Amino acid sequence: MSIATATQSDGARRVRDWVQLIRQQFQETPHLRVTAEQASRLWGLEAAELEAVLSAFVDAHLLNRNRGGAYELRLDPAPPHGPATGTPARHAYLG
């Protein structure tokens, strides 16, 4: 395995770990609202990692981003299929 492959694999594993932790925290505290800055302090993530995780949650219809820029648990059900593909609207590592 090359160093680049190992680094990419470690990076993906790290993102999956953060996805699991953040999902649990939003599910345990359904009214949790955090801005990207607050989330960065709360979870100790760098901006790029944080953006990847939170964007994945928004893309998977698990979180909404409100007008003030805060992320919150999406309480309405996600659409059954993606935009025009007929495939489920889920991100690969969100489970």
Residue 86 lies in a domain: no
CATH number, residue 38: 1.10.10.10
At residue 70, the pLDDT reads 93
Tell me how many domains the chain contains.
1
Domain that holds residue 15: 3-73
Residue 90 lies in a domain: no
Asked whether 71 and 57 are in contact (CB, 8 A), the reply is yes
Distances (CA, A) of 89 to 5, 69, 79, 92: 27, 22, 7, 10
pLDDT of the chain, 95 residues: tens digit per residue:
434 444 456 667 777 788 888 889 998 998 999 999 999 998 888 888 888 888 888 998 999 999 999 999 988 755 655 554 444 444 444 54
Residue 61 lies in a domain: yes
At residue 65, the pLDDT reads 92
At residue 79, the pLDDT reads 60
- What pTM was estimated for this model as a whole? 0.64
